[in-house]
A and B are shown apart, each in its own frame.
Chain A
Amino acid sequence: DTGVSQNPRHKITKRGQNVTFRCDPISEHNRLYWYRQTLGQGPEFLTYFQNEAQLEKSRLLSDRFSAERPKGSFSTLEIQRTEQGDSAMYLCASSLPLPSGNTIYFGEGSWLTVV
């Protein structure tokens, strides 16, 4: 069990550029989540997948955000035409399905700074 892996860990980009983050969940976990966290705040839910199906999306996930999980393994979160307000840490997490999956395990996060 290598834990939830995210990369890149840090990304600095110019406003208007596109960025993509990757998440590799714990191998036997079929649920995968994306959260966003700004400084001094708790994480906010963005979206989650069960296998390859995206089952829920938060209203925070604007049209510029897209998440995919092809083949139900790793996931990518793409942000198009980045804005300064997108600067945050993007956390990926994974779990087993309920009721076994009542514990969600987090990765170390990907920091995004938009300049």
Chain B
Amino acid sequence: AQTVTQSQPEMSVQEAETVTLSCTYDTSENNYYLFWYKQPPSRQMILVIRQEAYKQQNATENRFSVNFQKAAKSFSLKISDSQLGDTAMYFCAFMKHRGASGSRLTFGEGTQLTVNP
């Protein structure tokens, strides 16, 4: 079974600064996907960024980028130029590449990020 761990229950950052959210996972799979989802107070889960494990290049989406360390099973999210609208709960999630439970997401416990003006 896969597990995802987010060791930072809460973080805060000043507007316009950079913050990094940590995530580690445990799996025996070689091919898989990793995700960061954002859940604002409205509660809708919104995809932030996706990483395929077979790709060595770290994914980037505008102000969001990841540091994917496959050997260390680490997948951190960096948010640059933080904005007030980034305030949300952030979840790291794992998905197997294939098989009976392929496409089932396993989520971490979440990190509540607050961006202060």
Contact = CB atoms under 8 A, between A and B. Distances in A.
Contacts, number: 63
A98 B103 CA distance: 7
A45 B4 CA distance: 14
Interface residues on A, range: 20 to 34
Nearest to B45: A106
Contacts of B44: 106-109
Question: Which residue of A40, A45, A95, A98 has the most chain B CB atoms within 10 A of its CB atom?
Answer: A98
Contacts of A33: 103-105
A103 interface: yes
Interface in B87-111: 91, 93, 95, 97-98, 100-110
B43 A89 contact: yes
B103 A95 contact: yes
A98 B45 contact: no
Interface of A: 31, 33, 35, 40-45, 48, 55-56, 89, 91, 93, 95, 97-99, 101-109
The 3 closest A-B pairs by CB, nearest first: A42-B107, A106-B45, A108-B44
